[in-house]
Amino acid sequence: MPEQAANEPTILITKREGYRVLAFNRPDRLNAFNETMHHALRDAIDDAEADKECRALVLAGTGRAFCTGQDLNDRLAEPGENAVSRSTLEKFYNPLVRKLRTLPLPVVAAVNGVAAGAGANIALACDIVIAARSASFVQAFARIGLIPDSGGTWSLPRLVGQARARGLALLADPLSAEDAEKWGLIWKVVDDGALEDEVDAICRRCARMPAHGLALIKRALDASADNSLDRQLDLERDLQREASADPDYQEGIRAFLEKRKPNFSGRK
Ligand code: T3D
């Protein structure tokens, strides 16, 4: 594959009606992250969040990969030097995962091809993960002496249980999209040619739903990972009060009783 031009954007932004697609765009490196791409992604997410017309966000990859995590070309250290002391975890990966989880709109990972290293765990940090049948997920870290990061050690056991999380992390074998769906790691696998349409349909649907309600659902589900049932019940009470104070709730009820489609008010 020809070397990518230096001035080529590392994140391609496509604005669609009601949502945005942010595509990793370093295909010659299977969309591995360099600093420029980290900055571009952070700016693109902030920009999408600020745009109240944007009701869902998609992360995707150009070329044959979704994203393969850190660009390892930037990680060869001199003898005696600690490559990870220069690591971008604190600066980029951790804030990115926190941002995806707390963003007040649904984030969809459209996994078009291999998702490896931090690329796999960034996909898993999204709210809905849809993968093309030819895609795969690789916790590649153990192959190079690292541990799963970008939330992998947190999300994997919660999604697939300890036995499978340990197998994936320690053996670093690729998991096919079909198995990822069977294991409950992702929402859905679709034929390669159907990925874009499937993601488009989901985002359009999200864009018509009660925006504040969806944001509160994300908050409740995220908090549940660390809460007792007792604390979660209290949180549900509080968030339900907040949800029901939103005009969208009344619109939802009216539309149901009048047997018509609701017309929700959007992000405020
Ligand atoms: O340092 C810190 O800040 C800590 C943070 C760490 C976060 C991380 O993500 S660590 C994990 C980094 N990622 C990996 O270890 C994955 C590396 N890639 C692979 O293992 C394989 O490429 C895949 C299994 C994903 C796919 O294999 P395959 O055979 O389909 O493709 P390939 O031939 O290996 O890759 C194609 C090209 O992409 C190749 O370049 P070339 O030979 O055509 O010039 C390859 O070097 C390049 N590439 C793929 N992944 C990366 C990469 N180049 C740099 N960094 C990559 N991550």
Task: Band the pLDDT of 80: cuts 50, 70, 90.
Answer: low
Is-contact 104 218, C-beta < 8 A?
yes
Q: For residue 16, how many other CB atoms are within 10 A of its CB?
A: 15
The pLDDT value given to residue 238: 98
Q: For residue 229, how many other CB atoms are within 10 A of its CB?
A: 8
Q: 211-257: what CATH class?
A: mainly alpha
The pLDDT value given to residue 123: 98
- Confidence (pTM): 0.96
Residue ranges of the chain assigned to CATH 3.90.226.10? 11-207
Flag whether pLDDT at 1 surpasses 50: no
Rounded CA gap, 235 and 114, in Å?
37
**Ligand 1 mean position, distance from CA 104 (Å):** 32
**Ligand 1 mean position, distance from CA 236 (Å):** 42
Query: Model confidence over 197-253: pLDDT tens digits?
Result: 999 999 999 999 999 999 999 999 999 999 999 999 999 999 999 999 999 999 999
Residue ranges of the chain assigned to CATH 1.10.12? 211-257
**89 CB under 6 A from ligand 1?**
yes
Mean pLDDT of the chain: 95
Rounded CA gap, 222 and 96, in Å?
15
**82 CB under 6 A from ligand 1?**
no
CA angle 6, 12, 14 (to 5 degrees): 155
Rounded CA gap, 140 and 120, in Å?
9
Query: Model confidence over 129-150: pLDDT tens digits?
Result: 999 999 999 999 999 999 999 9
Is-contact 40 9, C-beta < 8 A?
yes
Per-residue burial over 99-133, b if 16 or more Cβ lie within 10 Å, else e, is bbbebebbbbbbbbbbbbbbbbbbbbbbbbbbbbe
**What value does the mean pLDDT take over residues 252-261?**
98
Pseudo-torsion of CA 83, 88, 93, 99, nearest 10°? 160
Task: Band the pLDDT of 86: cuts 50, 70, 90.
Answer: low
The pLDDT value given to residue 233: 98
Tokens (6 digits) for 261? 């489609």
The two most distant CA atoms of the chain are separated, in Å, by 72
Report which ligand 1 atom has the smallest distance to the Cα of 141. Answer: 11
Task: Band the pLDDT of 76: cuts 50, 70, 90.
Answer: confident
Pairing type for strands 65-67 and 114-116 reads parallel
**138 CB under 6 A from ligand 1?**
yes
Tokens (6 digits) for 110? 């459209």
**140 CB under 6 A from ligand 1?**
yes
Fold of the CATH domain 11-207: 2-enoyl-CoA Hydratase; Chain A, domain 1 (3.90.226)
Flag whether pLDDT at 85 surpasses 60: no
**Ligand 1 mean position, distance from CA 93 (Å):** 17
Residue 257, CA distances (Å) to 241, 262, 264 in order: 21, 10, 15
**139 CB under 6 A from ligand 1?**
no
**What value does the mean pLDDT take over residues 167-182?**
98
Report which ligand 1 atom has the smallest distance to the Cα of 146. Answer: 10
**Ligand 1 mean position, distance from CA 213 (Å):** 39
> DSSP code of 162?
H
Distance of CA 235 to the CA centre of its chain: 24
**Ligand 1 mean position, distance from CA 81 (Å):** 22
**32 CB under 6 A from ligand 1?**
yes
Is-contact 110 59, C-beta < 8 A?
yes
Q: Residue whose CA is closest, atom 53 of ligand 1?
A: 29
**Ligand 1 mean position, distance from CA 32 (Å):** 7
Cβ within 8 Å of residue 8, ≥6 positions away = 25
